[in-house]
Amino acid sequence: MYYTPARRRWPAVFTTFTALAMLGVLIFELVYNKIVTGNVIETSPFNIMIGPSAPTLILSGARFVPCMHPTASYTIDGPHLCPNMTDYGQTGPTAPTLVPTRVNTTMVGVDCSLQEVCGMTRFKSPDYPDQWYRFLSAIFLHSGVIHFILNSIVHLSLGASMERLLNPLFYAIIWLASGAFGFIFGGVLAPVGNASVGCSGALFGVVALLFIDLFATWKQVMYPGWELTKLIFLILLSFVVGLLPGLDNFAHIGGFICGLITGTIFYPICPSSRTNKLIMWVVRLVLLGGLIGMFYGMLQLFYSGRTSNEASHKEFS
């Protein structure tokens, strides 16, 4: 970020707290995977992120649409592959999949219902999955040690810098809103059967803040054009990487869009006149209304249900 002498620097309280929370959750995932599958990390096939299996992540709170509203392919009664059976009937280099029927999978033991696959809290209605909180819980989960380290590098560097500029409360709102909207966006546009985890949507909101910060301090920054070029290259590279298997680019895009809007609302700008101050507050109110409408519209689309092809494979943001 681009500091000027007049800026107050706040302590990075939220960044530190969430980094510790995500580390604790990662440890929980590995212990839980040992309980569910008998292995600390997924070994059949090997999880290159050095972490748990997809069914364990679903049990831990990953964004998994069939656990959040009814879908055509993932029925309540199943049969579904039980989380502790992910090592059975798996061949080739692909990750274990959660399948809605007995197709291309050797089922051993008792079949599982969708409630048993989802875990977490019980559905309020036995025939209606309603675990909405996965939009938030998935932010704190990671697919493995490598995934956690990569996200933590950005979180503890760029994230901490932006929190020191904004203040912990405003930064927390932007971070959480970007992360949640990223998963809502992905829940609408990605295949229904994809399980998604990670704080990358929130971190793309942080990248959006960097754009806002650069334009707000354009005249004070040495070589601002070069700084803009680096940011554009960073965002393009991140989106290209997001096209790789196992990454959720929709969560990245959604987080970036939300970060631009929430960042503009909360960014500390001091207008030079009362007229400019009034204009800034009008812009912020309009953007706040647009943000609320955006969340409402995407949630309406999400809960309207989907009948598209529901590919079933792990997806991590």
Catalytic residues: 200, 252
What angle (nearest 5°) sits at the alpha carbon of residue 135, between those of residues 50 and 189? 90
Token match 């793309």: residue? Answer: 204
Closest CA to 138 of 233, 216, 251: 251
Q: What tokens were used for 191?
A: 């295949």
Q: What tokens were used for 212?
A: 């806002």
Burial (0-12, 13-18, 19+ Cβ within 10 Å), 223: exposed
* Residue 157 contacts residue 201 (beta carbons within 8 Å): no
> 43 phi and psi, to 5 degrees?
-120, -15
Question: CA-CA distance, 125 to 145, in Å (whole number)?
Answer: 36
Which 3 state secondary structure label does DSSP give 191? coil
> 255 phi and psi, to 5 degrees?
-65, -40
Q: Provide the 8-state DSSP code for 146.
A: H
Buried b (16+ CB within 10 A) or exposed e, 12-45: bbbbbebbeebeebbeebbebbeebbebebbeee
Question: CA-CA distance, 21 to 25, in Å (whole number)?
Answer: 6
Token match 């599982």: residue? Answer: 112
> 46 phi and psi, to 5 degrees?
-75, 130
Closest CA to 158 of 200, 203, 199: 203
